[in-house]
A = this chain, B = another copy of it.
Amino acid sequence: MLRISKLTDYGTLVLTHMANFPDRLFSASDLAGTLGLGAPTVSKVLKSLGRHDLVRSVRGLHGGYALSRPAVQISVAQIVDALEEQPFGLTECSASSGLCDFESGCRVRANWQRINGVVRRALEDVSLADMVSPLPMVAGSDARPMTGPQSIKGRIAPDQESAR
């Protein structure tokens, strides 16, 4: 555990891509094709993002999605909030109270909440713009597929652990 869900991962991917072309409308199937994800899945992600006002949608023929505000104003924390189902928190009792009879005297809980705060702040400090940063693609060249977990079926044995 301690993972974000795949939907959240897809979300960052989709939003990152959209951030490269702030003025264009993307249909769900467009994005699915470009990013190598399933069309219904992308649709689902975009719907959730829309409910949380991270993207705006245009309905009808030639409709689609675009970022609802500049990428600098969208934080990773907001993406997580939009796509994770359970409320933010490393433990159940750090996300909501009333779960356990000893809350008042529970040191452990208080400390998990503190840790929680640090993690959350880390996510708030990274914006979508940061995720795109130094390599904006040339407008119009939409063909290059980006990386995405779903597109990988044959998983190779991990040969390395990164950030220990």
Contacts and interface: CB of A to CB of B under 8 A. Distances in A.
A87 B152 contact: no
Interface of A: 1-5, 8-9, 12-13, 16, 76, 80, 84, 86-103, 105-109, 111-120, 122-123, 126, 130-135, 145-149, 151-152, 155-164
20 contacts: A1-B3, A1-B4, A2-B89, A3-B86, A3-B89, A3-B90, A12-B112, A91-B149, A92-B149, A95-B161, A99-B156, A101-B152, A102-B145, A102-B146, A107-B134, A109-B147, A111-B130, A114-B126, A116-B162, A119-B122
Contacts of A161: 87, 95-96
A6 to B, nearest CB: 8
Overall SS of chain A's interface: loop
A97 to B, nearest CB: 5
The oligomer's copy count stands at 2
A163 B113 CA distance: 7
B146 A89 contact: no
Contact of A90 (B4, B131, B145): B4
Given A12-B108, A131-B111, A147-B103, A91 B159 contact: no
A77 to B, nearest CB: 9
Contacts of A89: 2-3, 162-163
